[in-house]
Structure 1
Amino acid sequence: MPTRVIHGERELVKQAGLLKQLGNRCLLVTGKTSARVSGALDDAVEALKSQGIEYELFDQVENNPSLENVGAGGKAARKFRPDFILGIGGGSPLDASKAVAVLAVNNIEPEELYRNKFDNPPLPIVAVPTTAGTGSEVTPYSVLTHNELETKKSFSVPELFPRIAFLDWRYTEKLPLSITRDTALDALSHLVEGYLSRKAIGTSDFLAERGMKLWAKCLKGLREGALTPEDRDLLLVASTLGGMVIAHTGTTLVHALGYPLTYYHGLPHGRANGLLLGEYLRFSAQYVPERVNDVLAWLGLKDIGEFSRIMGELAGPMVGLTGEEVKQYAAKAAATKNAAQSQGDVTETVLQRILECS
């Protein structure tokens, strides 16, 4: 994996010299509040100042950033002309940072990001996650909202792997419980989907097993709503391991079905995934029962029923869907590569049933 992962408290400040190796000008890419509230922005500014690195701040990243949103970031980058990008936040700012890194040196329309081929390579990226869920700090994927297609869609080139990822649990300490749970479900979905993917390999299996076992150690805290610093640190590492897993395998039908729940109904991405995971396990057990049993064992759960009850407890109730919506979302999902990477015969009928039973 090309990303250098640095894990520990205040390592962003302690190892600021690594930033200087990337250049003298940095564009900070964040959302409006999370980077400030978490303390990560203060640490980043301190690190940059200590090395005499000139910086500007683009703090306009939206939740589930659109092509238009990253286009604005790209315009800001081309004006400032940074040497590297430092992204701070959850999945939205980190994914936006990758798009901005491309647009900073390629004056193209945001839609053209999906060509996955650019005249100039993206600027180097440093990733500082403030949630324990997306794993974007160690993947080459940027997932953006495509309003014309009415869904989320990713683009990817190998150069989008961040050069450095700084993992510091303190940046997740002030997250509301709802966001902590939602992002934890996102991390779990990456670990589970990667392990059950057609593209799973020995390396990804090893990472998935380790990640699920770490995640399981935090389950009590997630259910009770009282997470210790150790819990948050373990969740952050589990999330990064989940990112490493899907960097190998990609995601499966859970993400394909979750995207319309986010786009049309406003469900947070991780929560949408969590609501679908139980039925996903039931479906997958028809084809890879040994692997589903591994998942349950590593999480310390006795059966899929217990798994589904816990997912419901953490994610809350499913949104009400009309019959027409179920058909529409299943049709969209069936056409994705995520569905093709799933075990079994993933038809529209299968996807409809998963939605209806979740």
Structure 2
Amino acid sequence: MKRLAYVTGSRAEYGIMKRLLKKIDDSNDIELTLIATGMQVDEKYGNTYKVIEEDGFKIDKLIDIKIDNSNNSNILDSMSICQSEFGKYFEYNKFDAVMILGDRYEILSVAIAAAMHNIPIIHLHGGEKTLGNYDEFIRHAITKMSKLHLVSTDEYKKRVIQMGENPNSVFNIGALGAENSLKIKLLSKKELENRFGKIEKKYYVVLFHPETITGASVENQIEALIGAIDTYKNEYEFIFIGSNSDTSSDIIFKMFKEYTIKNNFKFLTSARSEEYLSLIKYSSGLIGNSSSGLIEVPSLKIPTVNIGDRQKGRVRAQNVIDVIANKELIIEAIKKSNSFDFLEKLKVCINPYYQKDVMEEGYKIILEFLNSTSINEIKDFYDF
């Protein structure tokens, strides 16, 4: 039996991976080990590792990296703790491969530790562009340390190969999140209200993360967003969800918290994947800059008002309305998202990240890789 480690650092990434992890965990061919770190083991973000345990998984180790997102120097301290702790963990725990998703700073530290221990890395969601955030260069750095690449579109597949990765190691399987939106059993509106309280009006979900390399002021962006929401607060409800742990996300948390208390709007520090997708399903749209607005939300044919440059460069569906962080322009974007013409277009919206049987295809490729001779071959740079 092959030994596979999966490292999870955030609620969103675990939610994307949950169905695949369950498939692997139930397998007789792969022994799955889960390690939780980052936001998952931080009380400020809800100690969401407990959700993983409630889902029936056993977590082998919790690694607290002491997140302090007040500045980049403190983020680097967290990364160094993460790299050191995973370096020790991989020294004494041997795996045939380590699987990771995405582009977060703690996942970069995990990848470095695994690569230095010569453990093959399976990487999901490589090749994507997000020009407004340090995720951009982190993602590409992880690609160069990985041996198997499961990407979500042909454009991203070409980009990974362009970076010198052997085409035989790059597979476009689509996005698990795009499939999850249609495969996960979602909550009814009544079940949502039982968990989060009565929802009296039509509502939007608001989820915003910092832009970490554009130089944009987080305070100014949130003020523009809140100013736009003020225009509609008598017409709609707004359900806010807490930001991730990127640099300056504490500012977003504070400003959203104060605003929701003042206006009696709901604020959720965190939400399970089925709760989040259910909230989106019954909403008038998602407002903010989450990648889920581009990858998962199109499957539900719900509008996304995407603000700023955090997701600049990512493939988009017709459900996305891009707008800069300007109050008046956000007001117009929200208006457009609920217009008859736009909602009619959504009825035929195609999600570019969706492919049939993503989970099954991903599992098959991972199992073949674990049993292949190429897994232990020295990785070469692929030249065109």
TM-score (norm 1): 0.35
Larger radius of gyration between Structure 1 and Structure 2: 2
The higher-RCO structure (CA 8 Å, 6+ apart) is 2
Give the structure with the larger helix fraction: 1
